[in-house]
Amino acid sequence: MSQQLSEQEVIRRDKLKALQQNGIDAYPAALYPVSYYSANIKEQFSEETKEQFSHVTVAGRIMSINDKGKVFFIKIQDSKGIIQLYVKRDDICPGEDKTLFEKVVKQLDLGDIIGVTGFVFITRTGEISVHAQTLTLLAKSLKPLPVVKRDEQGNVYDAVTDPEFKYRQRYADLIINPEVKNTFIKRTKLINTIRDFLNERGAIEVDTPVLQNIPGGAAAKPFITHHNALDVPFYLRIANELYLKRLIVGGFDWVYEFSRNFRNEGMDRTHNPEFTVLEWYTAYKDYFWMMEVTEQVMERIAIALHGTTDVQVGDTTLSFKAPFKRVTIFDAIQEHTGIDVSSMNEEELRKTCQQLNIHVDASMGKGKLIDELFSETSEHKYVQPTFIMDYPVEMSPLTKKHRSKPGLVERFELMVNGKEIANAYSELNDPIDQRQRFEEQLELMNRGDEEAMFIDHDFLRALEYGMPPTSGIGIGIDRLCMLMTNQPSIQDVLLFPQMRPEKLEQE
């Protein structure tokens, strides 16, 4: 396959050859000691501080060039913003030799990365700028950037919004839409806020296997691969729950992991096959305690990112101020359908789903049918943070039976803006009960349910040594980031979301 070049790409390659023929290295390896960023200069420069800025070194990508002949006004973008450079031929080419200006400056294009040393001043139009005294080409750009127009106030016109471009060429998206970077800076701040919250309380961060011989801990279809050295199939993890519980068995009181998980399922605005989940497990606690701690961590995240517990998502203001509303799953379904399904058997549930035009099939057991009922009729109605709790035992094979409500388990899901953000249990620690639940899942698998759980015999063995009463939670980091950064799609909070392979043109 040969590369198809546009006219502009050919011109830029010709300029690269001209630079090389003139002895200019377009990709120098030397250290370039940047001393200031654009935002620092703009925030700190004044008549009183100008001596501090009498010698600065800045570097960045060229976003605009205004050629005035012997003077160039160039705007560069660094990681903090944009600043103007004043580049005058007689300043960067002192004496008789003016060839550097012709060899380098006249060959510059939008997208090139340059560095300059000089001093900061204010132009006649009042713009803080760097008066260049030396200029170095640090990297030649061979592909033109899409043109985005901005006015003097920074307002954007003709923005590039095509999702195919934005998600596939995130590197270019970040260049031409630098505000996108703020979403990912907030994502990092969100994760660090949670990490600080847990560390302050004595939790221990751990790592567990991504390659697993049994894909346990969730009801999901896994990706499968092959381990050549062992000559056995392995799975990319769908969850890390069972490994973290093993650590509770082993004597840890509180463990957590930011887990990269993989599920071979559909893709939409809230689902990506590769995603991040935080899971933590705490000994001697239950799901009531976990609700309170979940409220605390959500409050702290909102305040860290927004300075308040109120978070704007679209046209809705979400309040993460504790306490959150609590509703049982059966009450939620009855509220939104008028039907009490709490005492229905599998066949009655299937008929109810059909009456409500909810698609079901023969592989679905009682738990899956209730899950479909809630998802289709009720889930999207819970906009403000709400704990949906006390699920049927058939829906929750890893959860302890309810202490006072037969047929139910001690589980909650946190719903926000119509989507599940977190899932938590009082963990099942009875090995005999757990084995029976796994066997029931195996029956569902034999009926064709591709998301039914495997039996993990080693995990059962671990439980037989004894696991203390434990509460655990999984929080979807990507969906939480969507909320906290007001983004409409999960792809907008993933730097490199999965996409169909690109079809490249061939001659």
Q: Is 120 inside any structural domain?
A: yes
**For residue 400, is it within any domain?**
yes
Cβ(414)–Cβ(383) below 8 Å:
no
Cα distance between residue 236 and residue 215, in whole Å? 7
* Distance in angstroms (rounded) separating the CA atoms of residues 113 and 142: 11
Residue 358 domain flag: no
Of 145, 173, 191, the residue at which a domain comes to its end is 145
Establish if 331 belongs to a structural domain.
no
Q: Are residues 132 and 254 in the same domain?
A: no
Q: Which of 145, 163, 192 is the last residue of a domain?
A: 145
In a domain, 96, yes or no: yes
Partners of residue 137 on adjacent β-strands? 114
Q: Order the strands of the 204-205 sheet from edge to edge.
A: 204-205, 254-262, 274-283, 470-476, 419-426, 411-416, 386-389, 325-328
In the DSSP assignment, the letter for residue 72 is: E
Q: Is the dihedral of CA 322, 323, 329, 331 positive or negative?
A: negative
Residue 503 covered by a domain: no
Do 319 and 460 have their domain in common?
Answer: yes
d(CA 145, CA 137): 18
Kindly state whether residues 116 and 215 are assigned to the same domain. no
Same domain membership, residue 104 and residue 19: yes
Q: Looking at the structure, do residues 118 and 256 belong to the same domain, yes or no?
A: no
User: Which domain does 40 fall in, by range?
Assistant: 7-145
How many independent structural domains does the chain possess?
2
**Does the annotation place 179 within a ligand binding site?**
no
Mark whether 451 and 302 lie in a shared domain. Answer: yes
32 and 121 together in one domain: yes
Does residue 370 lie in a domain region?
no
The CATH number covering residue 302 comes to 3.30.930.10
Q: Are residues 295 and 388 in the same domain?
A: yes
- Please state the three-class secondary structure of 436-466 as a single string: HHHHHHHHHHHCCCCCCCCCCHHHHHHHHHC
How high is the pLDDT of residue 218?
83
230 CB neighbour count, 10 Å cutoff: 9
- Does residue 210 share a domain with residue 310? yes
CATH number at 42 reads 2.40.50.140
Q: Which two tokens stand for residue 386?
A: 């709400």
- pLDDT score, position 443: 83
The pair of structure tokens assigned to 54 is: 């009498």
Q: Could you give the dihedral angle defined by the CA atoms of residues 168, 171, 177 and 180, in that order, rounded to the nearest 10 degrees?
A: 80
Residue 303 is which amino acid?
A: I
Whole-structure pTM value = 0.90
123, 224: one domain? no
User: Per the annotation, does 450 bind a ligand?
Assistant: no
Residues 285 and 403 in one domain: yes
Token output for 66: 């205004």
Q: What are the pLDDT tens digits along the chain (507 aa)?
A: 467 899 999 999 999 999 999 999 999 998 999 999 999 999 999 999 999 999 999 999 999 999 998 899 999 999 999 999 999 998 988 766 677 788 899 999 999 999 999 999 999 999 999 999 999 999 999 999 987 655 555 565 556 778 889 999 999 999 998 889 999 999 999 999 999 999 999 999 999 999 999 888 888 899 999 999 999 999 999 999 999 999 999 999 999 999 999 999 888 988 999 999 999 999 999 999 999 999 999 999 999 999 999 999 999 999 999 999 999 999 999 999 999 999 999 999 999 999 999 999 888 888 889 999 999 999 999 999 999 999 999 888 899 999 999 999 999 999 999 999 999 999 999 999 999 988 888 887 787 777 777 889 999 999 999 999 999 999 999 999 999 999 999 999 999 999 988 876 554
Residues 190 and 101 in one domain: no
- 282 occurs within a structural domain: yes
Please, which contacts does 251-255 make with residues 24 or more away whose CB atoms are closer than 8 Å?
252/204, 252/206, 252/283, 253/202, 253/282, 253/283, 253/284, 254/198, 254/201, 254/202, 254/203, 254/204, 254/280, 254/281, 254/282, 254/283, 255/203, 255/204, 255/205, 255/206, 255/280, 255/281
Report the 10 Å Cβ neighbour count for 7.
Answer: 8
CA distance 191 to 477: 8
Q: Of how many residues is the chain composed?
A: 507
Q: Which of 128, 145, 162 is the last residue of a domain?
A: 145
Q: How far apart are CA 194 and CA 192, in angstroms?
A: 5
